[in-house]
Amino acid sequence: MKTIIEPFRIKMVEPIKLTTRDERVQLIRDAHYNPFLLRAEDVIIDLLTDSGTSAMSSEAWAALMRGDESYAGARSWYRFRDTVKDIFGFEQVIPTHQGRAAEHILFGVMVKPGSIVPNNTHFDTTRGNIEFVGGEAVDLPCPEADDIEMRHPFKGNMDTAALEELVAEHGPERIPVIMVTVTNNSGGGQPVSMANIREISRIAKAAGIPFYIDACRFAENAHFIKRREEGYADIAAIDIAREMFGYADGCTMSAKKDSFGNIGGFLCTNDAELASRERNILIMTEGFPTYGGLAGRDLEAIAVGLRETLDEHYLDYRLLSTRYVVERLVEAGIPVMAPAGGHAVYLDARRFLPHIEPLHYPGQALSIELYVEAGVRAVEIGTVMFGLDPHSGEERPARLDLLRLAIPRRVYTQSHMDYVLEAIGQVWERRETIRGMRITRAPQFLRHFTAHFEWID
Ligand code: F0G
């Protein structure tokens, strides 16, 4: 069969409240033109994030009932730990309440003032946690990543020549850890090839620097390798994942992505001494080492989700359904990042609205119009998010102005996505009438979450 269906049936539904255009005009005005300030129930299709928003399976819901809530040594912990060890292969597993807690602990023990941490592209919380302890987070994306429309199979790769230079210049004294993020979220959800991971690992080993993987979307990355990289077509996703992690010394993971958790995460390493220092922080900030920041029932659900996410029918559906949206947009001539990444669609707001200059926030304007048009919520990744230097107070255009439409796992059907496509098409038709925006109020840090906006006349 040519038609790719959603490989699941729906046995519980959550009604969507439908609003009118007039209502949405009022609702978004009341939210000061910031979609983060909307009530979620006033959103028809919520594409703000794929994090913690996935649908759990009947098996995961059943596993919740098995949750052992003992403070220490719960059965659920052993089930969780053994599943993580089986897939990720690391000796030490530290459960946390979400990904950023794992980052906070890792960088707390590894990074000092003056440290440099390279990554293909740091996610904001990774960068934030490195900077918080006085380190410098350096992005080394491959050159192809800059070209929004260039069809390269592994645009999430790290620039390993640049990594080698950085390592030669600063060495292990300044670089306590090298990271790679799979898939590269801040770089468009694009995958990283096995060859690239192998090469980063080689450089790290030669210099004696630990190599960690930010593993949030590891299953999507593994499946891209299977479909795109020579030699992997006949290898099971789980074995590709095992090979990826086999090159690394540890990982951080947000279980809110590729394991369908509504909450959860973990930190892994093969270094027992390091793990013992990490557990000391864990006990103070998250919880006892056999539950971290999680309830026993969460540990159970994540253990189930980690297996389900490696199901290749699911992964085919996942990657193809994202690609479906991107290819329809390309056909319509609407500027979008291509090829499709795993978890999200990135509209190029700067080219969608070329008459709006970056400092008038084309991505924000597009997000508001999409909400008004059809109740679709997406997130600006551009000058609102990255344009302000919080220390100097100076504002500059970000490298790109994108609008990210992240697709929660197993939540929306193809007809929901057709509705989103129709909405984008209608906004595209009237794009010349859309105005720029200005900020009327904003905090010094992470302003995109709470800033207030207004239209420019
Ligand atoms: N690393 C990456 C690559 C991420 O995308 C995220 C979260 C984190 C780390 C942090 O994990 O949220 O569990 O603390 N990304 C979400 C997003 C929030 O919308 O892309 P967390």
Nearest residue (CA) to ligand 1, atom 4: 123
Q: How many CB atoms lie within 10 A of CB 178?
A: 26
Contact 264, 291 (CB under 8 A): no
Q: Is 183 in the pocket of ligand 1 (CB under 6 A)?
A: no
Can you give the pLDDT of all 457 residues of the chain as single tens digits? 888 889 999 999 999 999 999 999 999 999 999 999 999 999 999 999 999 999 999 999 999 999 999 999 999 999 999 999 999 999 999 999 999 999 999 999 999 999 999 999 999 899 999 999 999 999 999 999 988 889 999 999 999 999 999 999 999 999 999 999 999 998 889 999 999 999 999 999 999 999 999 999 999 999 999 999 999 999 999 999 999 999 999 999 999 999 999 999 999 999 999 999 999 999 999 999 999 999 999 999 999 999 999 999 999 999 999 999 999 999 999 999 999 999 999 999 999 999 999 999 999 999 999 999 999 999 999 999 989 887 788 999 998 999 999 999 999 999 999 999 999 999 999 999 999 999 999 988 789 999 999 999 8
**C-alpha span between 357 and 135 (Å, rounded):** 33
332 CA to middle of ligand 1, Å? 31
Atom of ligand 1 nearest to the CA of 125: 10
For the domain spanning 21-50+312-455, the CATH number is 3.90.1150.10
Q: Is 185 in the pocket of ligand 1 (CB under 6 A)?
A: yes
> What fold, for 58-308?
Aspartate Aminotransferase; domain 2 (3.40.640)
E strands present in 242-334: 250-254, 265-269
Q: Is 321 in the pocket of ligand 1 (CB under 6 A)?
A: no
Nearest residue (CA) to ligand 1, atom 11: 99
254 CA to middle of ligand 1, Å? 6
All residues at 6 or more sequence positions from 353 whose CB lies less than 8 Å from its CB, including other chains: 362, 365, 366, 431, 434
DSSP code at position 190: B
Atom of ligand 1 nearest to the CA of 50: 19
- Left, alpha or beta for 89 (phi > 0: left; psi -120 to 50: alpha)? left
Q: Is 123 in the pocket of ligand 1 (CB under 6 A)?
A: yes
In the block, which residue shows the tokens 């898939």? 183
pTM over 0.85: yes
User: Where does CATH 3.40.640.10 sit in the chain?
Assistant: 58-308
User: Where does CATH 3.90.1150.10 sit in the chain?
Assistant: 21-50+312-455
DSSP, collapsed to helix, strand or coil, labels residue 80 as helix
